[in-house]
């Protein structure tokens, strides 16, 4: 799965969590077969993406990792304000 497809996957999952999906920004870069995905959301919405005890972001990371593994890549997903 190319980095653009991983970015789209993470973006769709994240947009479904927020009241205003247009505020989500997802950026993906690749270095040495590792895809770095950065999710940017407003400060007031960051709790919805992280979830209680990090369960939501953990699930997003698990889905992204499964998709990346099929393509022989690693993925790192981070949330920033």
Residue 5 bridge partners (DSSP):
none
* pTM, entire model: 0.92
- Alpha-carbon distance of 62 to 68, in angstroms, equals 10
Number of domains present in the structure of the chain:
1
Domain boundaries, position 64: 3-80
pLDDT reported for residue 3: 80
Half-sphere exposure for 48 (CA within 13 Å, toward CB): 17
pLDDT reported for residue 81: 82
State the CATH number of the domain containing residue 12: 3.30.300.20
- Alpha-carbon distance of 15 to 1, in angstroms, equals 20
Q: C-alpha distances in angstroms, 8 versus 30, 41, 43, 44, 64?
A: 14, 15, 22, 23, 10
- Alpha-carbon distance of 62 to 65, in angstroms, equals 5
Which portions of the chain are predicted below pLDDT 70?
none
């Amino acid at each position: 799965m190319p980095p653009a497809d991983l970015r789209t996957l993470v973006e769709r999952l994240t947009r479904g969590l927020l009241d205003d999906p247009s505020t989500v920004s997802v950026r993906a870069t690749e270095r040495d077969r590792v895809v770095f995905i950065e999710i940017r959301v407003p400060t007031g919405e960051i709790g919805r993406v992280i979830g209680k005890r990090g369960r939501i972001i953990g699930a997003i990371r698990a889905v992204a990792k499964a998709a990346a593994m099929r393509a022989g890549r690693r993925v790192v997903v981070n949330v920033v304000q």
